[in-house]
Amino acid sequence: ETSSAPLLVVENVGKSFGGLRAVDKVSLDVRAGEIFGVIGPNGSGKTTLLNMLSGALVPSVGTIRFDGTIINGLAAHRIARLGLARTFQLVRVMPDLTVAENVATSALFRGSQGGVAAESIHELLVLVGLGDMAESPAGDLTYIDQKRLELARALALRPRLVLLDEWLAGLNPTELETGIKLIASLRDRGITIVMVEHVMDAIRALCDRCVVMSAGVVIARGTPDEVLADPTVITAYLGE
C-alpha cells in the first residue's frame, strides 16, 4: 500500500429525508495523508454526508469503505474504534469535568483497548495548545479552547482519519491562523483529515483536494484553486 492509496472510499451514497434527497449519489475518495475539503452553500448536504461517514446517519443507498471495511450501517462508536473520529459543530465538552477528564472520558470509547495513559492525555493537550489547562473545568474555557478540547477528544481515539465539522467557524483572524497551523500539524503526524468548512482561506491553505456540493450533489472536484475558479461553483454560492 502506498501513501496515496484511498483510505476512505464513498460510492454513490445517498440520504433522503421524506421526499428530499439531502445527499444524492455522492462518490469520492480520500487518500491516506491528505487534507480533503467538503465545501458548498448552506443546505447543500455537507453535514448529512459527514453524519453518514461518522455513523450518526445510515445512508439510504451506497457504500462507504474505510481502509477496506464497509462501515455504512455500523454504529458510530464502532466506526470511531476503527480509527475514524470526528468533531462536532456544536462543541460537546462536559463543562463540570476538567479538561483532562473530558479527554479521558472520550478515550473510554476505545472499549477493550482500554483508556488513555495520563502522559498521553497530557501530550494531546499540549498538541492542541491546552497544556496548561488540564485541571481547569472545561466550562471555564474560552470558545477557541473548547474547540481545542473538542479536537483533543477526537484525537484521544488515536484516529487515522479525523472529520472536522466547521472546526474553524467563529474564530477571529489570529485564532484562525493558529487553528490552521494546528490542522496542518495533524497532517504532519500522519492523520488524514476531511474538513467541512466555510472559511475559504483555510480551504486554500490546507486542502490538497476538495469537492463542492450543491443541492445534494457534487458539482465540482479538484484542488481548491481549481474548484474556487469554477464558474459553476461561483454560481452555486451566488444563489445561496
The answer to whether the CB of 27 falls within 8 A of the CB of 55 is: no
Closest CA to 162 of 224, 87, 74: 87
Strand order, beta sheet including 20-31: 20-31, 6-17, 61-66, 69-70
Q: What share of the chain is helix, strand, coil (3-state, %, to 5)?
A: 40, 25, 35
In Å, how far are 87, 98, 126, 143 from 140, measured between CA atoms?
Answer: 20, 9, 18, 9
The answer to whether the CB of 217 falls within 8 A of the CB of 40 is: no
CB closer to ligand ADP, 6 vs 43: 43
The least distance separating ligand ADP from the CB of residue 94, rounded to whole angstroms, comes to 25
The least distance separating ligand ADP from the CB of residue 36, rounded to whole angstroms, comes to 16
Sign of CA dihedral 10, 106, 190, 163: positive
CB closer to ligand ADP, 18 vs 114: 18
The least distance separating ligand ADP from the CB of residue 212, rounded to whole angstroms, comes to 11
The least distance separating ligand ADP from the CB of residue 57, rounded to whole angstroms, comes to 8
The least distance separating ligand ADP from the CB of residue 12, rounded to whole angstroms, comes to 17
The least distance separating ligand ADP from the CB of residue 30, rounded to whole angstroms, comes to 18
Name the residue with cell 470511531.
80
CB closer to ligand ADP, 37 vs 83: 37
Strand order, beta sheet including 35-39: 84-86, 161-165, 192-196, 35-39, 209-214, 217-222
CB closer to ligand ADP, 124 vs 207: 207
Q: What residue ranges bind ligand ADP (CB under 6 A)?
A: 17, 20, 22, 40, 42-48
CB closer to ligand ADP, 42 vs 142: 42
CB closer to ligand ADP, 45 vs 159: 45
